[in-house]
Amino acid sequence: MKSKEKFSKNETSSSRDWKEKNKSYLRQLQKFLDATDRIKEEELKNHIITQMLKCDLILTQIAEKEIQKIKQNKV
């Protein structure tokens, strides 16, 4: 993956309720963003946030694939 590559909401699944409504996930995400707000160097802060979002996207894609496998096995 190229470092300049941008991710958009269009590249993600349309239904992320299982993650985006999870209070624990949202609380930890807020703590992360609060911590990055204290980083003075804007370029470093943006790099750290971008890397975390890339990791989050990959983990979300993995989780969605596993959810689909589980759903297919139940049918």
pLDDT digits (tens, 9 = 90+) for 7-20: 555 555 556 788 88
Where along the chain do its domains lie? 17-74
Beta carbons within 8 Å of 12's beta carbon, 6+ residues apart? 57, 60
pLDDT digits (tens, 9 = 90+) for 36-47: 999 999 999 999
Residue 1 pLDDT level (bands cut at 50, 70, 90): very low
pLDDT at 9: 52
Rounded average pLDDT over 51-66: 94
d(CA 34, CA 42): 14
Amino acid (1-letter code) at residue 60: T
Handedness of CA 60, 29, 9, 16 (dihedral sign): positive
